[in-house]
Structure 1
Amino acid sequence: MGGGVRRSLRRALPALSVFVAVRVLGIAVLSLWSASSGKSAHHLLSQRWDSIWYVRVAESGYDFTVHAPDGRVLSDMAFFPLLPWLEQAISWLSPLGHADAGLLVSAVSSVLAAWAIFLIGEQVGGRRAGTVLVALWAVLPVAIVQSMAYSESLFTAVAAWALVCVLRGHWVTAGVLASLAGLTRPVGLAVALALWAACAVRLTGREAESELGPGSEPGPDRASGPDRASGPGPGPGPRAERDRATLARMAVGAVVAPLGAALYILWVGVREGSLFGYLDVQGEWGNGFDGGIAFFRFIGGLLAGPSFAAGVALILGVALAVWAYVAGVRQRQPLPLLVYCAVVAALAFLSSGYFGSKPRLLIPAFPLLIPLAFWLARRSTRTLAVVLSVVAAGSAVYGAFWLNGSGPP
């Protein structure tokens, strides 16, 4: 086990080095920009917007509300508990305050997420594609959020490692990680659905060839070699016992996967005295699933006003995301990745709420980057280095401009 982890880490080291370099560049540019504006980069990363709500939960639990000028009651129960729990634990075990503990969680989580993203990219396209995939995730326009005391990095780390376990047949571990993803963000249910899809594929015997791409290693629940090629045999034997054990692990993983989100949502319902209490809490924040009506009305408003260019840019962004997903389907990406990505993207685009949040809500949808990673991986090393360097610089500048301006909510 330890040897496998070390080999995996050695393979991922170049990708992780690129990721850390890009994140350091982003923080350095943010620090210089903030200093020139008389602001604190540390404050922008750890004590603004959602970060404040997570810290309040870590400090005093779920007991804080804000009465908005329009009469809405904004409750901290809209924020899932895993990040504040970790902030609380780290603050108790170390001299760090809750806000700095949140920064530490994001820093560690972002690297762990990059490691898992590399393994997924390596499995479906080879080591070079995996490295490029990590680099692309690092240079997203809003990638500075990966370094904030927000839950995006934590969620992506837990979700990506759950997907790694799903693709390798580690069903129980995948279920536990999916449950943790559900304790991090409401979209954590996307991970549970991905696991269920993988179970369905395995049970129907329609396992996609792409699930054992270059660089993958069969998990303990995967049949391989002669056992995989052979038939069921004349009667009960080692393979039958192994199949029963696999089914048992799949069942455990499938049951555990949604528990994190389900239990938290039920707890909020009990606190609110309503079965749909969590939806009521989110509704007060203006969040809800409306099939994209509010989002497309927002785009229409931009197109009809002085922000026409911004509206066009949003349409192009949505079209690019749809193209990337369709390209992933055509590449025959593993079904769990497609299911996970579809749910994350759908909840980002088809829900109401603050529309400036849409880009950061797509940060966990890293499989959308796989088609572009494959294409760039076929380019020369020099071309790849130039493209990624230019985009990384642009991402760092935009991140600094964004956080010193409107920033994420």
Structure 2
Amino acid sequence: MPPIATHHPTVPASRRPPAPGGGGVPGAESRLVRALGRAAPALVGYLMVRLFGLLVLARWAHVQGRGVWPTLATTWDSDWYLGIADHGYQRELGTALDSNNLAFFPLYPALVKAAAAVTPGTRASVALVIAVVASLVAAWGIFSVGDRLHGQRVGTVLAVLWGAYPVAVVQWMGYTESLFTAFTAWCLYAALKGRWLWAGSLATLAGLTRPTGIAVAAAVAVAGLVAYVRTRERRALAGALLAPLGWCGYVAWVGHRVGRWDGYFAVQKLWRNQWDGGRSTLVEMREHLAYDASPMFFLVLVSVVLVVSAGLYLLCLTDRQPLALLVFTGVLMVIVLGSGGVYFPRARFLLPAFPLLLPIAVAVARARRPVALVVLGGAALSSAWLGANALLVWPGPP
């Protein structure tokens, strides 16, 4: 006699208990954990480089009888951002040189003010913590870009090289470079994956962080428009249109605040940041590298960084990097090299241009392990020494 068939009602997938051992479709949390695990070697390597740099700085400062804390948290540009967090922006354009705080973009001081309101630390300590945390987020994003383009090993080397940049000491200062690089790295990663709304949103945030946020906006706008022309994907067009809103919004607000349409550019003129097509850069570079009988070391370093960066960009073009990366680094270099403003911080201004390091990262990753360790170790040593020199010997801001 055949067995009697029995009916078992189907349980909807959404109501089924999880399978033993956590089976099933991984959620967002498990994807995040896996991504973090893949990036762990890069983050550990980055931390080791920056902690070594901090130790060298602390020892050097101790020998000089100086404190590390005020050097990192309350000097130069840090003072400007803390002043904005404390008192807000001024309302007049004025005529005094190097004194108008409207030149500094608002997102970083706004985060400092908001975080300090709900934490026990001072605004200076909060600003430093934000910079350090942002540097780790930036290193993760940089790894992710390198990993997507060339694999995990290249991504790891790329993050470590960014931590060993000649003036990487500013990554752990009360400056905006780390926050800006974090937005930039993840924006470019989103563009590489075709996540255009994320890319446009992150470009908007980058545009509220630094004046060079226009380079991020240009990268997303150009790459997004090209993608839209090819695929007619509306999200690509939306991301392209969204990208410049942060930068344009702040520039428009400054104009409204000071009562003239070109108010932001008038502020930059008071800081002597005017476009001259690169003439001032070439004059300064020639002076420090060829004609100055007793050149200052830091200015020579800045000149060398600019020359090497230009050479690396040519390699990036030869390697046919993705369009978003080429546009970002290209526009950023045009802004930094084409400005007639102060010369000494230009190496720092190029710090977010991590795609320039991709050709080096690929070469180091392909080298034998001992060679790679020597290169990365040498980069870490030089970065630690150069960073301490920039903060404790050079008389001005890095």
Range of TM-score over shorter length = 0.7 to 0.9
2: CA distance, partners of 1:44 / 1:197:
40
Aligned residue number for residue 134 of structure 1? 159
Q: Is the 8 A contact 2:281 2:339 kept in 1?
A: yes
Equivalent residue number for residue 216 of structure 1: none
Q: Does residue 1:116 correspond to 2:141, yes or no?
A: yes
Q: Which residue of structure 1 lines up, in the alignment, with residue 110 of structure 2?
A: 85
Report the counterpart of residue 217 of structure 1 in structure 2: none
**Could you tell me how far apart the structure 2 residues matched to 1:23 and 1:313 are?**
20
Q: 1:309 to 1:79 in 2, by over 3 A?
A: closer
- Give how far 1:323 is off: 2.1
Task: Report how many residues are paired.
Answer: 368
Match of 2:195 among 150, 170, 174: 170
Counterpart residue number, 1:393: 381
- Comparing 286-295 with 37-46, greater Cα deviation is found at 286-295
SS of equivalent to 2:166: coil
1:68-120 per-residue CA deviation (whole Å, 9 max, x = no partner) reads 9xx52621100000110010011001011111111011101000000010011
Cα offsets for 1:311-349 (capped at 9, x unmatched): 876665433222211211221211000000111111111
Structure-2 separation of matches of 1:132 and 1:73: 38
Matched-pair contact (CA < 8 Å) for 1:178–1:258: yes
Give TM-score scaled by structure 1 length. Answer: 0.85
Match of 1:159 in 2: 184
1:320 corresponds, among 302, 308, 323, to 308
Tell me which amino acid in the other structure corresponds to 1:275: W
Alpha-carbon separation, structure 2, partners of 1:73 and 1:316:
26
Residue 191 (1) aligns with residue 216 (2): yes
| Cα distance, 1:381 vs structure 2 | 1.4
Which secondary structure state, in structure 2, belongs to the residue aligned with residue 386 of structure 1? helix
> 2:11 matched to which residue of 1?
none
| CA deviations over 1:187-229 (Å, ceiling 9, x no partner) | 1111111112222332343xxxxxxxxxxxxxxxxxxxxxxxx
Match of 1:250 among 236, 244, 250: 236
Q: Which has the larger radius of gyration?
A: 2
Deviation sequence 1:277-312 (CA, Å, 0-9, x none)? 001111101112211111112223333331469687
Q: Tell me: CA distance 1:84–1:308, structure 2 relative to 1, closer, same or farther (3 Å).
A: closer
**Contact between 1:66 and 1:73, CA under 8 Å: does it hold in 2?**
no
CA distance in 2, matches of 1:339, 1:318: 18
- Cα distance in structure 1, aligned partners of 2:88 and 2:296: 43
Which residues in structure 2 correspond to 1:16-27 (within 5 Å)?
16-27=43-54
Conservation of the 8 A alpha-carbon contact between 1:67 and 1:73: no
Q: In structure 1, what residue type is equivalent to 2:327?
A: V
3-state SS of the aligned residue for 1:352?
Answer: coil
TM superposition shift of 1:64: 8.3
Q: Is residue 51 from structure 1 mapped to residue 78 from structure 2 by the alignment?
A: yes
Q: Does 1:3 align with 2:19?
A: no
Q: What residue number does 1:200 align with? A: 225
Q: What is the 5 A alignment of 1:326-345?
A: 326-345=314-333
Quote how far apart the aligned CAs of 1:65 are: 8.6
What do residues 165-189 of structure 1 show as CA deviations (whole Å, max 9, x unaligned)? 1111111111111000000011111
What value does the CA root-mean-square deviation take over the aligned residues? Answer: 2.1
Matched, 1:306 2:293: yes
Other structure's SS at 1:140 match: coil
Code of the aligned partner of 2:90: D
Task: Say yes or no: does 1:103 pair with 2:89.
Answer: no
Matched, 1:297 2:283: yes
Q: Deviations over 1:108-167 (max 9, x none)?
A: 100000001001111111111111111110101100010000000000001111111111
Quick one: which of 40, 43, 61 aligns to 1:13? 40
Aligned residues of 2:204 and 2:246 also touching (Cα < 8 A): yes
Structure 2 CA distance for aligned equivalents of residues 15 and 149 of structure 1? 23
Instruction: Give the secondary structure class of the aligned counterpart of 2:99.
Output: strand
The equivalent of 1:28 in structure 2 is: 55
Q: Measure the CA separation in 2 of the matches of 1:300 and 1:20.
A: 36
Please tell me whether the aligned partners of residues 105 and 209 of structure 2 are also in contact (alpha carbons under 8 angstroms): yes
Bigger shift: 58-67 or 115-124? 58-67
* Residue range with higher mean Cα deviation, 157-166 or 379-388: 379-388
Q: Provide closer, same or farther for how the CA distance between residues 92 and 325 of structure 1 changes in structure 2, counting only shifts above 3 A.
A: same
Task: Give the % identical residues.
Answer: 40
Decide which of 235, 254, 276 is 2:262's aligned counterpart: 276
Change (3 A) 1:164 1:73: closer
- Say whether residues 1:147 and 2:172 are aligned partners: yes
Map of 1:221 onto structure 2:
none
Q: CA deviation at 1:4?
A: 2.4
Measure the CA separation in 2 of the matches of 1:140 and 1:154. 16
Amino acid across the alignment from 2:175: Y
Contact residue 91 and residue 258 of structure 2 kept, 8 A: no
Tell me the SS of whatever aligns to 1:29: helix
SS of the counterpart of 1:288?
coil
Please tell me the residue identity of whatever aligns with 1:119.
S
